[in-house]
Amino acid sequence: MGRYVVRRLLQMIPVFIGATLLIFLMVNVMGDPVAGLCGDRQCDPATAAQLRKEFGLDKPVWQQYLTYLGNIFTGDFGTAFNGQPVTELMASAFPVTVRLTIVAILFEIVIGIVLGVVTGLRRGRPVDTGVLLLTLVVISVPTFVTGLLLQLLLGVEWGWIKPSVSTEATFGELIVPGLVLASVSLAYVTRLTRTSIAENKRSDYVRTAVAKGLPRRRVVTRHLLRNSLIPVVTFIGTDIGALMGGAIVTERIFNIHGVGYQLYQGILRQNTQTVVGFVTVLVLVFLVANLLVDLLYAVLDPRIRYA
Amino acid sequence: MPEPTPPEYQLPGAARTPQNGAVADTGMGGAMDLATAEGETLERPPDAGPPERDAEGDAEGAAGERARSLWSDAWRELRRNPVFIVAALVILFLVFISLWPGSITWMSPLKCELSKAQEGSQPGHPFGFDGQGCDVYTRVVYGARTSVTVGFLATLGVALLGSVLGGLAGFFGGAGDSVLSRITDIFFAIPVVLGGLVLLSVVTSNTVWPVIGFMVLLGWPQISRIARGSVITAKQHDYVQAARALGASHSRVLLRHITPNAVAPVIVVATIALGTYISLEATLSYLGVGLKPPTVSWGIDISAASPYIRNAPHALLWPSGALAVTVLAFIMLGDAVRDALDPKLR
């Protein structure tokens, strides 16, 4: 197990360096970081040169990248367009997005797994076909369309919820946005659980358990679920990072002042430091989630750690 | 060295086991997860045995008909599948109206009358008007062209780049393969919407090319991972050994023996991916970093209609519906093709 952990940690280092380098190159080579600092007008050459010198943009690219990497490690993400440090924006934005993600994950676990187990145990019945078709439809409709439709129906037409979320963004207000954020993954979790259950239902240990005369309930919860949920758990784990990154769409629809909102403001005002800072942190979250899931995988499934 | 993964590690339906790479490919969203999962189930290890022909097929073969290939079998299967027929008809219709939008519209999508803003359905304007007084029907029809163009070109680029790189890495193995696997990990580490925000927010071009380029840049690792796995599986078959023993060159083995047997998962994933790219283009346009006006795109129209959602929901619903049906058609098509190509389901 120890060797496995060390190997995964070592594998993460090049991925981290590569991903940050990729983000860095996207911004600094493809675009012009000082373009947004002069507002809508074109910068005059002398000001631009002065700004470049001030931010160290006249140095070679590799040196800039090292500075950027050094700043990440010391927790310095630069300043936003309004002079606030980006870290302060993060401190106010991340709790909101984390709450939203928690709601989404809960939906995935509860609805996704229940539907998956129900359909997996009744493979080929009308319930199974219906849910399967429904998941395809949910997967096909882009999140922002689902979000806008739910906002229109629940918020505007029927008045069940407030169409937009207040700045506090309490758990209660985040239920519908969380469902929207979770929708696509939810459908996928359902399919994943269904396949896994249906496959394992034919396995020898389930047949043995049934032959022993165990009650059906015990066979399902103790023998079938425990083994079938391993891929589901790991999928949900890695999905945490993807959900936090994808929350930008949901946050835009419901006007939630989370990470997505700050990112969007950063883009509108062409503030590279805000955008790069937030994206870097989100990528880090994604990588850490991946790492934890792989370790969890090794704990849950011994075949992995002895491989 | 390509590690021949023993089948017992392949958990059923698992999105990924840690062997496949250091980073999960969940950053593209659920639809792409579906695509890769469906593609992976098509990779048939050699010890699974050849697909069993049914008695009917043998009888036909004995009757002097040429032995049917996997592809002609799949085609026969598909022609009888109503899901495939519906999806294919929807896609053909989309392609038709993107090539000749003038055949079912009679106005320019850019001709708008502000005095008619947000008005509902009227004779000659079945879908009503949007917030700027443009005809929603015309814009929905013209929007198909953008979506189909972006979808097809991005898929073409991703499929070519991904399958060539992944296929070569899987075939030759060695250091190149390890390097490619680490590079795909790096690309998987960036969730796609975030990558789009960063890259496309600094690009100022008004054409569709930056969006297509971005999709190819972040999309190829998916296909590459699939193609690599598929080639590694195909490589272990006996007929490849036989071809080698007969002195076939690398290129001949790769082109004549491996490619035809490894291409099925790539086709399935690419078909579903086409739908996800259309959806991704709309999402990025909705966020304001994808395509920009005056390009007519469903994503732009949905984004423009969302402030008027109370007064003119029709301006939002029609393009959303068109988008959803399009993406659904491609995913259904990919799903049907997958089922037809899977010998286990026969």
Contact B202 A31 (CB under 8 A): yes
Q: State the pLDDT at residue B153.
A: 93
Chain A contacts in chain B segment 152-191 (CB below 8 A) = 182-183, 185-187, 189-191
- Give the total number of structural domains in chain B: 1
Of B325, B22, B301, B278, the closest CA to residue B152 belongs to B278
Q: State the pLDDT at residue A139.
A: 86
In a domain, B90, yes or no: yes
How confident is the model over B225-243, as pLDDT tens digits? Answer: 888 888 888 888 888 888 8
Q: State the pLDDT at residue B56.
A: 43
Q: What is the Cα–Cα distance from B17 to A231, expressed in whole angstroms?
A: 8
- Rounded to a whole number, what is the distance in Å from the CA of B326 to chain A's nearest CA? 9
Structure token pair of residue B19 = 């062997």
In the chain, the amino acid numbered B220 is W
Contact B193, B279 (CB under 8 A): no
Q: State the pLDDT at residue B108.
A: 75
Q: State the pLDDT at residue A294.
A: 81
Residues of A in contact with B23 (CB under 8 A): 15, 286-287, 290
Q: Report, in angstroms and rounded to the nearest whole number, the Rg of chain B calculated over CA atoms.
A: 23
Q: State the pLDDT at residue B49.
A: 46
- Residues spanned by the domain of B98: 84-345
Q: State the pLDDT at residue A254.
A: 85
Its sign, for the CA torsion B227, B229, B235, B239, is negative
Contact A249 B309 (CB under 8 A): no
A31/B contact by beta carbon, under 8 A:
yes
In terms of CA atoms, which chain A residue is nearest residue B14? Answer: A231
Q: What is the Cα–Cα distance from B195 to B211, expressed in whole angstroms?
A: 11
Residue at token pair 């993600």: A101
Picking from A137, A149, A238, the nearest residue to B320 by CB comes out as A149
In a domain, B3, yes or no: no
In a domain, B188, yes or no: yes
Choose, out of B3, B9, B20, B23, the residue to mutate when testing the contact with A (most A CBs < 10 Å): B23
Contact B202 A293 (CB under 8 A): no
Q: What is the Cα–Cα distance from A250 to A148, expressed in whole angstroms?
A: 9
Q: What is the full DSSP assignment across B257-286?
A: IIHHHHHHHHHHHHHHHHHHHHHHHHHHHH
In a domain, B330, yes or no: yes
pTM of the model: 0.84
In the chain, the amino acid numbered B78 is L
Residues of A in contact with B289 (CB under 8 A): 267
Query: Domains, chain A, ranges and CATH?
Result: 97-300 (1.10.3720.10)
In a domain, B79, yes or no: no
In a domain, B19, yes or no: no
Q: What is the dihedral of CA A177, A183, A185, A189, to 10 degrees?
A: 120
A151/B contact by beta carbon, under 8 A:
yes
Size of interface A-B (CB pairs under 8 A): 214
Q: State the pLDDT at residue A105.
A: 92
This model of the complex carries an ipTM of 0.83
Q: State the pLDDT at residue A107.
A: 92
Q: State the pLDDT at residue A292.
A: 85
In terms of CA atoms, which chain B residue is nearest residue A21? Answer: B186
**Inter-axis angle of helices B209-235 and B30-41, nearest 10:** 30
Chain B contacts in chain A segment 161-200 (CB below 8 A) = 184-185, 187-188, 191-192, 194-196, 199-200
- Rounded to a whole number, what is the distance in Å from the CA of A45 to chain B's nearest CA? 19
In terms of CA atoms, which chain A residue is nearest residue B305? Answer: A148
Contact A33, B40 (CB under 8 A): no
In a domain, B220, yes or no: yes
In a domain, B63, yes or no: no
In terms of CA atoms, which chain B residue is nearest residue A29? Answer: B202
pLDDT values of chain B reduced to their tens digit, one per residue, 346 residues: 344 443 334 443 344 444 456 666 666 666 777 777 777 777 765 555 444 444 444 444 444 445 667 778 888 888 888 888 998 999 999 999 888 877 777 777 777 777 776 676 777 677 777 777 777 888 888 888 888 999 999 999 999 999 999 989 888 888 888 888 888 888 888 888 888 888 887 777 778 888 898 899 888 888 888 888 888 888 888 888 888 888 888 888 888 888 888 888 888 889 888 988 988 888 888 888 888 877 888 888 888 888 887 777 888 888 888 998 998 899 888 888 888 887 666 5
Local mean pLDDT, 10-residue blocks, chain A (307 residues):
80 85 77 63 74 72 81 76 77 88 91 90 84 87 86 78 71 84 89 87 88 88 85 84 84 86 80 80 85 81 67
Q: How far from A114 is each of A96, A117, A118, A194, A232, CA to CA, in Å?
A: 27, 5, 6, 10, 12
Picking from A137, A142, A294, the nearest residue to B282 by CB comes out as A142
Residue B169's CATH number: 1.10.3720.10
B122/A contact by beta carbon, under 8 A:
no
Q: What is the Cα–Cα distance from A258 to B331, expressed in whole angstroms?
A: 32
Contact B86, B136 (CB under 8 A): no
B50/A contact by beta carbon, under 8 A:
no
Of B199, B187, B175, the closest CA to residue B224 belongs to B187
Choose, out of B86, B192, B194, the residue to mutate when testing the contact with A (most A CBs < 10 Å): B194
Contact B345, B336 (CB under 8 A): no
Of B46, B245, B253, the closest CA to residue B167 belongs to B253
Contact A136 B199 (CB under 8 A): no
